[in-house]
Chains A and B, each alone.
Chain A
Amino acid sequence: MRIRINARNRGFQFDAAPGESVLYAGLAAGIDLPYECATGTCGTCKAKLVEGKLRDAWPAAPGRKYVKPALGEYLMCQCVAEGDLTLEVAKFVKPLEQGAGGVVARAGRLRSPALLVHDVMAFDVELDEPCNFEAGQFMVLAAPGVEGHRAYSMVNYEREARRLRFVAKRKPGGGFSEWLFGAASEGAALRVFGPLGKATFSPGLANDLVCIAGGSGIAGMMSILARATGEGYFDSHRGWLFFGVRKLSDAFYLEELSALRARTSDRLSVTIALSDEAVPEGAVRQWPLLAFEKGFVHEVAGGALKGHYQNIRAYVAGPPPAVDAALRLLLLEGKLTADNIRYDKFS
């Protein structure tokens, strides 16, 4: 089916397969259509139907609150063409930069699912074809026969990756997450779409690095720190990671974070913020390279960053209240310019 997009600055055309989301078909065709979550929540991929017939795959999507159905507006990530379509996108749209190999639908298999803590699971996806992505990007995952698809940030960073590592928090009622924590088994077939997301890090940057993560938002930060450490970024720049959880028993990757700290001496500091309990005795003894503080992650970050806001690039991820509080800190106290704050709204 032929899809025509009339954007503010020009028109685009591409083909979509039966059942394929208009957004995914456009991205796969090399057109940088607007999106953030690509999974129905953020509302960024809003478009207006001009001509043709489409099916809305998820009429109850949370992101529908940003569209006006009476004006024929839809979320492109949830639109499936039922014939040739013309849509209008009231934004400036450009071709995707031809970087790491484009946005592609891939097949993969679930490997090594394992609980990290009671409500967080780590798992790998083994790909049929190797894949390149930027540190901080995410993939949209779906399991055949399981309703819904979910966006997860890559934890690892490597070129020509055959395996992608993810962490997932258990979400009651979340189709994919319920499946992962329940019926999923080693080797299960998965559909993988991406890589997506613009909150990326590359070592060409000349800033000190601040990462503020709540809960499973740590995933993309692990990828960013893996890339930064791998390329010696902390030989010439400072770095701060703040990882917020409720209690020490909710924290994970402390072993991996200690290893990153060991490789970067004191140029990278890693602080675990505990919102719901005092720092247990013995935490520092068990993890001598990590710091622990009581408080919300943005409060702990605010205390540590005082006087260090010059020349900072910040990455933020986590539950929306944690992200909003961190943005407030960085903008109002840190006076960071908006282009030095990177985050993708996909919670």
Chain B
Amino acid sequence: MTNRFVCRVADIPQNGLKEVEAEGGLKLLVASAGNEFFGYQAQCPHQDVALCEGLYDGSVLTCHMHLWQWDIRTGAPIGLAESPLQSYPLAVEGDSLVLGPEPSAIDVGELFRGLNPATLEKLATLASSESHPAGAVLYSPGDPAENIYVLDAGRVEFTIGRGEGAAPDGFMLKKGETFGWAALLEGYPQRIAGARCMEDSTLMRINGGAAIGVLEGDASAGFTVMRRLSGLIARYLALRGSG
């Protein structure tokens, strides 16, 4: 895949922000920090607010609407922000900024992003990309929990209970969101919720046991993944509250 033209280097103010439209129509926020340039989604992941209207001091970007903040070098959330920014790695070619191939769902995945590249590559080898039409059932309560899934595109909804008693239990719609965690846990061999595609969706499927095998070979990555997984589980527990 060839690089796409984004803008001229001179278009971006020093330690400043600008929204630009890359070749092909993709809208991007481009930030300059020292001699480097970073590309991110143009809109805040919270509400549809243009991030170029945000506050930026050369290292931390703040959306003016609700003060969500991100580290400009990584797109990682800081403080109140509940999700990272989707990154679009930029390169300088002559006097232009260009956009390389987009990172995969696993590279930006909430469990895996930022891991050692060799480990990410092993995980990517385990992953198979699958497309499902709207309405397709990925798994039902009681099914064996063998695989975890990373959403690439589309939308997946969850339900608890069966038949008449089935109740919605949330949905996923962002690239890199990960579900089917039970496959990474010990002692949870069965699905407790059902998962269904509500739109045509593309997913990366990874066998849980094989992923654990890779992570055992890179204990530091394994620790990071387990720490993030605990964070996800804790978050869902906290949101469940008393109701």
Judge: A and B partners, yes or no. Answer: yes
* Residues in chain A within 8 A of chain B (CB atoms): 4, 6-12, 30-31, 43-44, 46, 66, 88, 90, 92-95, 97-98, 324, 327-328, 331-332, 337-339, 341, 345
A65 to chain B, nearest CB (A): 10
Cα distance, A104 to B146, chains bound together (Å): 47
Cα distance, A66 to B78, chains bound together (Å): 25
Given A92-B239, A95-B241, A338-B68, A11 contacting B169 (CB threshold 8 A): yes
Cα distance, A12 to B82, chains bound together (Å): 21
- A interface: dominant SS: mixed
B228 to chain A, nearest CB (A): 17
Chain B residue numbers with a CB within 8 Å of A4 are 168
* Cβ-based interface call for B24 (8 A): no
Given A44-B47, A66-B48, A331-B67, A8 contacting B170 (CB threshold 8 A): yes
3 tightest A-B CB contacts, nearest first:
A11-B168, A95-B243, A338-B67
Cα distance, A46 to B79, chains bound together (Å): 23
**Contact at A93–B47, with CB atoms within 8 Å?**
no
- Partner pick for B55 among A43, A46, A90, A327, CB 8 A cutoff: A327
- Partner pick for A337 among B65, B79, B171, B236, CB 8 A cutoff: B79
* Cβ-based interface call for B80 (8 A): yes
Identify which of residues 155-182 in chain B touch chain A, using a CB-to-CB cut-off of 8 Å: 157, 167-173
Given A31-B243, A331-B55, A339 contacting B79 (CB threshold 8 A): yes
**Contact at B239–A6, with CB atoms within 8 Å?**
no
* Cβ-based interface call for B143 (8 A): no
- Partner pick for B243 among A12, A46, A337, CB 8 A cutoff: A12
Interface size class of B (residues with CB under 8 A): 20 to 34
* Cβ-based interface call for B69 (8 A): yes
Chain A residue numbers with a CB within 8 Å of B157 are 6
- Partner pick for B170 among A9, A30, A339, CB 8 A cutoff: A9
**Cβ contacts A to B, 23 pairs, < 8 Å:** A6-B168, A6-B170, A6-B171, A8-B171, A9-B236, A10-B239, A43-B47, A46-B47, A66-B48, A90-B173, A92-B235, A94-B239, A94-B241, A98-B242, A327-B55, A327-B64, A328-B55, A331-B57, A331-B62, A332-B57, A337-B79, A338-B80, A341-B67
Count CB-based A-B contacts (< 8 Å).
71
Identify which of residues 7-48 in chain B touch chain A, using a CB-to-CB cut-off of 8 Å: 47-48
Chain A residue numbers with a CB within 8 Å of B167 are 11
A8 to chain B, nearest CB (A): 5
8 additional A-B pairs beyond A93-B239, A339-B79, beta carbons within 8 Å, are: A4-B168, A12-B243, A88-B171, A94-B241, A95-B242, A328-B55, A331-B55, A338-B80
Chain A residue numbers with a CB within 8 Å of B236 are 9
**Contact at B64–A94, with CB atoms within 8 Å?**
no
Chain B residue numbers with a CB within 8 Å of A97 are 241
Residue of B nearest to A30 (CB): B243
Chain A residue numbers with a CB within 8 Å of B235 are 92
Contact with A along B215-243 (1 / 0, CB 8 A): 00000000000000000000110111111
Chain A residue numbers with a CB within 8 Å of B169 are 9-11
**Contact at A338–B79, with CB atoms within 8 Å?**
yes
A237 to chain B, nearest CB (A): 22
Chain B residue numbers with a CB within 8 Å of A11 are 167-170
Cα distance, A90 to B157, chains bound together (Å): 12
**Contact at B168–A94, with CB atoms within 8 Å?**
no
Residue of B nearest to A343 (CB): B67
B190 to chain A, nearest CB (A): 20
B203 to chain A, nearest CB (A): 18
